[in-house]
Amino acid sequence: MSEFSHLDKEGKATMVDVSGKQVTHRTATARSIVVLPPEVLEKFTADDIQTKKGSVFQTAIIAGVMAAKKTGDLIPLCHPIGMDNCNISIKINEQQELVIDCTASITAKTGIEMEALVGASVAALTVYDMCKALSHDIVIKETKLIQKTGGKRDFKRS
């Protein structure tokens, strides 16, 4: 990529014109990492954290899917698209961090990576919201694109 795609010839913000693009099947996976302090981790049982508000992970999954569906409303120059699928998984890794993966897919003229990134991000924010009563020391460490397929070129983070 040598130029920003959302700037016109005069350097002004614009939505990318996808009218000439080919329809292809596109997928994207994004990941957010959440670091939980010990006082939150000790509440972890049976693959989830239960609160008075309910299941932290199930609520985060639902929030992430809902957010991914609203990406075009949240990111100003993003195309509003109808996703074919959105799946969010939450696991604890060897470093005792939450790994939130959001995989989204669509058959369309434009990509789905922003939807995956928004889904993973909002799921992470939901974990924070539901656990902040135990500690404000929760850190959303990173959110990144892991891979995408379809469109001009595929991408896979090594």
Residue 39 included in any domain: yes
Within-domain flag for 4: no
Q: What is the pLDDT of residue 2?
A: 63
- Is 133 within the bounds of a domain? yes
Q: Please count the CA atoms within 13 angstroms of the CA of 23 that sit on its side-chain side.
A: 4
> Which pLDDT does position 15 carry in this prediction?
85
Classify residue 110: in a domain, yes or no.
Answer: yes
- Is residue 13 in a domain? no
pLDDT one-digit tens code per residue, 4-37: 788 888 878 888 889 888 999 999 999 999 999 9
> Is 10 contained in some domain?
no
Summarize pLDDT for 107-155 with one digit per residue, the tens: 999 989 999 999 999 999 999 999 999 999 999 999 999 999 998 889 9
When pLDDT is averaged across residues 95-117 and rounded to a whole number, the result is 95
How high is the pLDDT of residue 60? 97
**Total structural domains in the chain?**
1
Residues 6+ apart with CB under 8 A from 55: 48, 49
Residue 2 lies in a domain: no
Give me the catalytic one of 48, 73, 101, 129.
129
Residue 87 sits in which domain range? 24-156
Residue 18 lies in a domain: no
129 is catalytic: yes
What CATH number does the domain containing 71 carry?
3.30.70.640
The pLDDT assigned to 4 comes to 77
